[in-house]
Structure 1
Amino acid sequence: MTELPATAASMPRINEPAPDFTAKTTHGERKLSDYRGQWLILFSHPADFTPVCTTEFMGFARHADEFKAMNTELLGLSIDSNYAHIAWVRSIKEKFGVEIPFPIIEDISMTVAGAYGMVHPGASDTQAVRATFIIDPDGMLRAMVYYPMSNGRSIAEFVRLMKALQTSDTNKVATPEGWQPGQDVIVPPPQTAPAAETRASEGYNTVDWYFSTRKL
């Protein structure tokens, strides 16, 4: 059996505790436990001073206040030194007029990248792919999304996903494709045959016993 490289041997899983870390960042040392009681979006990029990553970081910066209003912190990461991060952030401010308000992890050892499965040998052995992890206030991993090196993420989609996750948690509902705040949500389907029989009379917008929606 072929043995996987250490950086690819394990992958984090949704609805399990997010891998713990303590790391040096552009804003000082950060630990996963620092974010207890808050949501955290941890995202990696292949390298500093690269064009696609620059657009993504500016996108996260432009939405930072919106994330903050949702009790959500941002934390970047790449396999670059802190000095490279600082120089890149300063360059973005100087050349593009955008200030990066969130910390960036220095991960030259690939410790955090390895724990979170950010290094995919098929893409690169020495760079992290565009991975995004949403961690809830209890330290549980709630969502993760991977993008290829060549294509930038939609930051607006992560804003939407955060709103959807928080709505689901608060109201014990699911959300349909492309859901936006103010739209109907999905009621969990009945779990027994008798409950399925009575679903149509419960006051929801019921298309079939397993598919019911309601307003919040």
Structure 2
Amino acid sequence: MIEMMNLTKRYGNGLTALRNISVQIDQGEFVYLVGPSGAGKSTFSKLIYREEKATSGYIQVGPFNVIKMSNRDVPYLRRHVGVIYQDFKLLPKLTVFENVAYAMEVVGRRPKEIQKRVNEVLDLVNLKHKMRTFPDELSGGEQQRVSIARAIVNTPSVVIADEPTGNLDPETSLEIMRILDTINTQGTTVLMATHNRQIVDTIRHRVIEIENGEIVRDQKEGDYEYVH
């Protein structure tokens, strides 16, 4: 589903963010991406949806050869990859319904289809009753649930969550995790970059640990911190 081989990313300032990464993530897996700040987790995620371009190596996401694809094909890749951001990135002048619907409008879905699907995903994240509310009237947890709904509304095969519980209290974080687990059980691959030790240790999934741009651990149902 996601395959990286000998993947390296160097930035223009000479910084090497990732070095010779090789990893495979199968369809339907839930994977935590852990490691210290600056280890390369964000770069790893951004290469998958071509927010960043690799310097060398190979990356395949579903049917897409991400290294060789042209810029005009990037929007098609991004229909397959939903992204959940730590800071939500909601459009402040649009309601909850409109924020989620917008993701379908930009790919040309029909109004009737949009209405049906947006209602479905708002139901999944338990926000149907807030569909006419604006982002600044929502709590942080509610805004993150809108962000999740927007990320999954086009039924992507992969969801990338960048610190989705980073700004949330423990109870709200668990609620977000329950939603991500539900999405995963429906067959979507979930890759979640996180510093949340409690969640990783409690809700067990595969753990890939990155340090200094290299994978130092890849463990099935791992802890946040590996004890040698």
What range describes the TM-score normalised by the shorter chain of this pair? under 0.3
TM-score by length of 1: 0.26
TM-score by length of 2: 0.25
Larger Rg: 1
